Each structure stands twice: as C-alpha cells, then as structure tokens.
Structure 1
C-alpha cells in the first residue's frame, strides 16, 4: 500500500524553479532515503508535503488525501522532525513533549519515559537552556512517542553525538517493525545506508535516481587492493578501471561494479598474492552523481 505519492511536483518562486517534476513514492512499512546536496530541493519538497507551501504544479497525496487541501487531517497521522528545532523558551522539554503528544491524541507515558531515558534528556529544564542537540532530542522524543503512521524526518540527527545517532537509528527500526513509514532526508550517507530500503537522489530540483541500494550500486565502483606474484600489466587498458595507485608492493584502484568479473579474471593471470575488496558505499554512489557537476538550487 502506498502511503505517500508525489506526481510531477513543481514549485516555482517567481522565475526560479526549485522543484522540477519530482516523483516520489513511499510505501507502508518502508524507510525511504531522500538525499542530495544542500540546495537540491529536499526541504522545499518536505514543506510541500507538510502543506506549509503550495505546489505550483503536480499532485501530492498522503494517505490518499491532498497534501494542501486536507493538511489538517493528514497531520493527525504524521510526525515531523526538522533539522533545526525551535521551541517555546519558557516551557520545559517535558511540557513540549506532552503538548505534541496530546496534539496527536496519544498518551503513551511508558514510551515517553523510555525515550527520554534513551536520549539522555533532562525534561525538567526550560527549553531556552537547551543546546541544539538537546532541542533535537525533544523533537525526536515527541515524534517517536506519538503513534504516527508516517514520520517525515528532515536532517533529524543534526547536532546529535554518535551515541544519540545510534539511539535514533533504533527508533527508526522500531517504527519500521511496527509497520510505520519513514521519509528520511539526510546528508549523513552512512545513516541512510543503514536504515533505508530505497533511496531517491535529488539534484537541482529533479530526482535523478530512485531505487533500492542494490539497484543503485551499478553506479558505483568497488575499491580493490592487489598484490601479485608477477608485475601487473595492461591494467590501465581494461574497461571500467580507474584511479590506479602504487602502494609499495600493492596496487590500489577502483573498478566499475559491472566490470568486476572481467577485471578479476585478468588479475588471476599474474598470480594473486593478496586481494582486498571494499564494497561500494552510498557515499561512492552519491559522489559519482555529483562529481564534476555544479549543484545550485534551493534547499
């Protein structure tokens, strides 16, 4: 079942086109990674999804409802965490969490207490005394304490230390196990790689690739470190081989994943003594898309 569907979404600010025919789909129980450089259009897309700004063209439906016309109904079933959280300075963190949870009609005190403990948050302090990381924790505890069906998370771990990032990842995994859907916009590629079932890459307001990580890895290169009994020859003439470097007795280079089989066959002729292979990461994939390309636009 499709929870969120974006068809041919466009958004113009005057003569500037921030979003140009964006298509996205998030299914029930799926974690969808939404990645791209700053200014690519991620936050603008999310503002349209939340009904904060109106699309110039196209259609956005969440739970089969129109994101602009039926925003109030939609917001009863979603939880949103921005990358820069502003809170009421005179309320305590606990009061803010209670307010947000009650707005969604929930009252799961045990879940609230568990999350406050996991995120190591002092809920008795006034929000004006909180650091950026603690403000982020308040928003995350509020979101995951509520019984939402769709979590829209825009750079949610901004300001968190690595230990808290791990707690956040556990929360996303728990939501997925419960059949909830998550749209995760992030520039932390290792986070996206650990959590997401599918990924959409946006550049200059256009989706340039969408698919599962395994489907997108054809765009990446595998890193190889090789030592052979006989000197390696003709390596630079092979299709799909890049960035050859000598390191003492070893050769380091990258191989387009689809050419890996033929390159390994070539290496075996020279007697392999050592072969280290590093699988391609989402970061490799991401950089392949953006290397030698400018990335303008609006976030």
Structure 2
C-alpha cells in the first residue's frame, strides 16, 4: 500500500540540544496513525518537520509522495493541519476567518463549514476573541477538516473539548478514514489515541521506542482478574496461579468456605483460562486491559544515551 508519510533518520537539533534522534516511521495511506508520548517527547517537532514549518537538521521526509521543502502551496492544500497551540485573529468572526482559510486551502463543498460547526456546537458568528479555549479548538478542527484534505495532521486535537464533542470528533475521524483520508494525530493520552488510531507509535525523548497496532497493544497489556472458588486453599490457588505464564501480583482478598483472589496477567490469557477451568468457580471478573499501565512501563524503561551528533541515533522499531 502507498505511504502517505515516511521518515528516515529524521533528526532535529536546536543549538546543542537534539530533540529528534534519527526517527523512522511510515504511515500507510488511508490509515489512522497516532503518536503518543509525554510533553516534550518531540511530537510537535515531528509534525512541524512534516509540514515544513521547521526543517530537519538531517534525515529524509516524504509527505504524500513529496519532499515538504519542495512541495509548496500545492502540497499544503492537500493537508489539513491543527496545531497544538492555536493562535487566532481576534477581531473577526469565526465565519470570516474560515472564509480566509478557504481562500488559502482551496475549494470547500457548499454547506460543509456550517455542517461541521453544527456537529461541534460552534457559533460561527461570534468574534474569535470571545471564544473559550474549547470553542477555539472547534474552530481549528473545522478549518482542518473543511476542505476534505488527503492528509489530516492533528496535534492534541481534543484539547479543551468536552466529552460529548470529543465523541463527535472521533466520529469525524472515522468518517474521514472511511473516505480514504489519512489521519496523523498526536496526544499524551493513550485512551484518546486508541479510540481513533489503527497504529500507535510511542515517542520518548525524541526516539520512537515502539510501533504497535492498537490490537497488539491490547494483547500485550496488563489485565486484572478476580475470582472466587470453592474447595481449594488460598495457598494452593496461589501456587497454581504462580505457575501460569504472565501471572503476577497474586493477592488473597477473602478466605473462608470459599476464597477470593486477585491477580494481574500480562500477554495471552489462554493459559490463565485453562488453569481457572480446573477450579470450582462461583465468580470471575476479567477486566479490560490496562493500556495506560503498559505504555507507562515503556516511558519509564531506561532511555538510550543521547547523541550530540545529528543522525547517529536510530529509533527503535
């Protein structure tokens, strides 16, 4: 499948500080690709390099098959961009501002702007200086989506949005992907990315430390299980669970005529299910996988030593 975005050994250095260390990734056309990482990980810098807002110190970038440095206005019209820090002219209405953006971005279907504004609950006739942070974010989303670009680059897109509007945004992303558009978004919140993305890259200290499908993250994530069983002692149950691959943190919650235990399981759950099938269970609760915990482990694992020379550090795939 064609690639909408690709980078090879993407490095960005500000003075003596290396912000991106040889970042490699690719985004298939028509997919939704999420980048997560703590603040300062390099998410915004990566996006700005893709859009030629800033230029890499070294490495290669391709966006919709072109080098962003040579793509010019023609390439930019094929992209919808929502920056993480949105600065709007305050002396005009939202409608006037979007008309200005429309003249830059190219044709917008009749009624498209009003339709998006209605979905997001945005009053286009208010002056932008009177808009709350959430409503400014809605205005930014309308300008990114309104011309139905081939590629959407969205930096922290749900910042300031209430939960109902976030759900509408997720619906807009799914519709865009259904229409063949590519979505590249960033967040520091995993739950946001997993609702919209097919594939997730985890960025830390300017390096990609993992690229996984959302399903792959779920399969390798930590789950919690709680069960009650008859006819077995807490000691024997604990010993049995201790022999199951991936099971840890076994704790006895209640003990008496029946016992209740809790445990965590990482990875495949089939071995645990087979082991529990030998017990006389009266209750069993298997929680949804804790993806946040799994990703936090990746954040906290020892980082590679930073390199002062651009382009010498390869990102982990």
TM-score scaled to structure 2, two decimals?
0.87
Residue 296 of structure 1: how far off its partner (Å): 12
Q: Does 1:233 align with 2:243?
A: no
Which residue of 1 is the match for residue 274 of structure 2? Answer: 265
Which residue of 2 is the match for residue 64 of structure 1? Answer: 65
Residue 264 of structure 1: how far off its partner (Å): 2.9
**Range with greater deviation from structure 2 (97-106 or 156-165):** 97-106
TM-score scaled to structure 1, two decimals?
0.92
Bigger radius of gyration: 2
Kindly tell me: are residues 30 and 196 of structure 1, through their superposed partners in 2, closer, same or farther at Cα, counting changes over 3 Å? same
The CA distance in 1 between the partners of 2:155 and 2:75, in whole Å, is 18
Q: Does 1:254 align with 2:264?
A: yes
Kindly tell me: are residues 261 and 107 of structure 1, through their superposed partners in 2, closer, same or farther at Cα, counting changes over 3 Å? closer
For structure 1, the residue ranges without an aligned partner over 5 or more in a row are none
The CA distance in 2 between the partners of 1:164 and 1:268, in whole Å, is 43
Q: Is the 8 A contact 2:223 2:288 kept in 1?
A: yes
Identify the match of residue 244 of structure 1 among 243, 247, 250. Answer: 250
The CA distance in 2 between the partners of 1:119 and 1:291, in whole Å, is 37
Q: Is the 8 A contact 1:136 1:158 kept in 2?
A: yes
Q: Is the 8 A contact 2:238 2:250 kept in 1?
A: no
Kindly tell me: are residues 143 and 236 of structure 1, through their superposed partners in 2, closer, same or farther at Cα, counting changes over 3 Å? same
The CA distance in 2 between the partners of 1:117 and 1:243, in whole Å, is 49
Give CA deviations for 1:260-283 in whole Å, capped at 9, x if unaligned: 333333333332222211232432
Q: Is the 8 A contact 1:91 1:127 kept in 2?
A: yes
Q: Does 1:25 align with 2:30?
A: no
Q: Does 1:285 align with 2:294?
A: yes
The CA distance in 1 between the partners of 2:223 and 2:145, in whole Å, is 37
The CA distance in 1 between the partners of 2:156 and 2:58, in whole Å, is 26
Give CA deviations for 1:27-56 in whole Å, capped at 9, x if unaligned: 111100111111111011011111011111
Give the superposed CA RMSD: 2.1
SS at match of 1:70: helix
Residue 244 of structure 1: how far off its partner (Å): 2.5
